Amino acid sequence: MHRSTYLVSKLAWAAFTILFVIVLNFFLFRILPGDPARAGVRDPRLTAEAQTAIRERFGLDKPVINCFASLNPLEPGDCAVNPLDTQFFIYAGNLLRGEFGISYHTNRPVVEVLGERLWNTLLLIGAGQILAIVLGMALGILAAWKAHTPVDYGALGFSLLAWSLPTFWLGIILLFWGSAYLGLPVGGKYTPGIDYANSWEQFADLARHLILPSLTYTIVFLGEYMLIMRSSLVDVLAEDYILTAKAKGLNHFQILKDHALKNAMLPMVTIIALNLGFTVAGAVQIESVFSWPGLGGAIYEAVNRRDYPMLQGAFLLLAVSVIIANLIAELLYSYLDPRVGRVNQS
């Protein structure tokens, strides 16, 4: 298998998986119980006409797909309808145009709401992840280099502790401490009711709001990254080729830089990619503790309100981000490890 074949096959698999998720995502929400027309407006006085109007507005009067009015097998529909005029193909067509439907609750386009929330989440996990990756790797490298010394044991202890702290608990403690002693805001993205003199002031306010949630996030992931970096590097440093490098007269720094890190990065890439994929879902706990208007909170609210278009959009977004994160990890693999995606030619 040639290298470009590897890349193409990975891309094709990612595209195929996304396609599968799109289909699954559609039927999943049609199987779920509850009538959105009723759930949206909980008023017993809602007339039949009004309900029909709501159904029409959300396109729920159309058959789900050819021959099926709904996904209830006992309720067969008309097979003669124009297939493009069914819910499934309207959904697929809308997706192609980048439309995810209208939120039952806010009556705003799902794309708009999700986009806003996604941006906030990316801000939070971006700051937190970058810090966690940099600090976790640095601490892991230090611990591996000083393996079985007090420095190593100290770093290990700290990381195990950080990893095992419950996220919400750590968030609350930091919230108490930060707001009481450092005067940091207790939640939200901006201080309400402030007129900013300039965009710099606005940014400073945002940064102050970002400190505590991203610090919580950093501490939660730092431990995991440190432990994986350490154990991976300790393994690599025991390899024969490290002894070869020492015998060649390379110094400690050169050995680490030129021979150990690239090999030790492989497990790190996996875990970072997986974490990134999943945390686009939003660190729900952190977002709740700090009232951060992120994606996790949006999903939580949408579940409570049975806001299916929101959930449908959010699920698709999550699935796609996990798939893309995995794809990036695989592509990074083939860059880091020449054995991936090539065949032994000897």
Q: Which of 30, 62, 259, 306 forms a contact with another protein (CB under 8 A)?
A: 259
Tell me if 3 contacts another protein by CB under 8 A: no
Tell me if 4 contacts another protein by CB under 8 A: no
Q: How far is the CB of 231 from another protein (least distance, A)?
A: 18
Number of CB atoms found within 10 A of residue 51's CB? 16
What is the distance between the alpha carbons of residues 160 and 26, in angstroms, rounded to a whole number? 41
Kindly determine how many residues on this chain lie close enough to bind another protein according to the rule CB under 8 A: 25
Distance of CA 241 to the CA centre of its chain: 37
Instruction: Choose among 235, 285, 223, 295: nearest CA to 261.
Output: 235
Tell me if 9 contacts another protein by CB under 8 A: no
Distance of CA 134 to the CA centre of its chain: 19
Nearer to another protein (CB atom), residue 48 or residue 247: 247
Number of CB atoms found within 10 A of residue 122's CB? 16
Contact between 275 and 221 (Cβ < 8 Å): yes
Tell me if 243 contacts another protein by CB under 8 A: yes
Q: What are phi and psi of 102, to 5 degrees?
A: -110, 135
Tell me if 244 contacts another protein by CB under 8 A: yes
Stretch 262-281 residues interacting with another protein (CB under 8 A)? 262-263
Tell me if 152 contacts another protein by CB under 8 A: no
Q: How far is the CB of 326 from another protein (least distance, A)?
A: 21
Tell me if 344 contacts another protein by CB under 8 A: yes
Amino acid identity for residue 188 in this structure? G
Q: Output the six-digit token pair for 41.
A: 């407006």
Tell me if 338 contacts another protein by CB under 8 A: yes
Nearer to another protein (CB atom), residue 80 or residue 247: 247
Q: Give the C-alpha distances (Å, rounded to integers) separating 291 from 117, 172, 327.
A: 12, 12, 32
- Which stretches of the chain bind another protein, using CB under 8 A? 239-241, 243-251, 254, 258-259, 262-263, 336-339, 342, 344-346
